[in-house]
Amino acid sequence: MSTIEDLAHLDLQPLANIPLKKLRQNATRLHGVCRYNPGVDKKREGLNPTDVKEVAIHPESLNDEWLRYAEFLLFHEFLHALGHSGHNRIFRTLEEQWPDNEAKNMGREFAKHLRKRNAKYAWTCPKCDWKTERTMKSSGRYLCRTCRVKLVDKILA
Ligand SMILES: [Zn+2]
Ligand SMILES: [Zn+2]
């Protein structure tokens, strides 16, 4: 992280004192979070690592195949910890500088992976057999994008 030019002037050492936690294993939408101390105003100027209670990332990202994404998640949350509470342009510019480009794009696949892991139904097109795995039933509310036919729910074992 210290090799990133725009961060080189900052003291990154305090980041090492932030407790690292794991999200609940069954979390699906959240991949990582930077939790500030109670009462901290996130909009305050000069927010810094001592305002942070903890950083948590999804436990599933710690599996070998997702480890590079976990590093990027941690970097993302550390940027929040360094005082950038929102995802504004400055934040995105800093985030862009993470050297592992592939890891930056793993979010989508990871989301898919989590969804699949928790899936109970396969929404299936009876015509072309396209399917997508979900936790909820589609209950006739969705059409196959290609065939415009109602998807049916198949229960996953
Ligand atoms: Zn964020
Ligand atoms: Zn179809």
Going by pLDDT thresholds of 50, 70 and 90, the confidence category of residue 4 is confident
**Ligand in nearest proximity to the CA of 92:** 1
**Ligand in nearest proximity to the CA of 144:** 2
Model pLDDT for residues 49-58, shown as the tens digit of each residue:
999 999 999 9
> Does one domain contain both 18 and 80?
yes
Task: Output the CA 118–ligand 1 centroid distance in Å.
Answer: 23
Going by pLDDT thresholds of 50, 70 and 90, the confidence category of residue 132 is very high
Which pTM does this prediction carry? 0.80
User: Between helices 89-96 and 67-81, what is the axis angle to 10°?
Assistant: 140
**Ligand in nearest proximity to the CA of 31:** 1
Going by pLDDT thresholds of 50, 70 and 90, the confidence category of residue 75 is very high
> Does one domain contain both 47 and 71?
yes
Say how many domains are in the chain: 2
> Does one domain contain both 110 and 131?
no
Task: Output the CA 147–ligand 2 centroid distance in Å.
Answer: 4
- Contacts of residue 119, defined as CB under 8 A and 6 or more positions apart, other chains included, come to 133, 134, 135, 156
> Does one domain contain both 101 and 149?
no
Check residue 135 and give its pLDDT. Answer: 87
> Does one domain contain both 127 and 110?
no
**Ligand in nearest proximity to the CA of 87:** 1
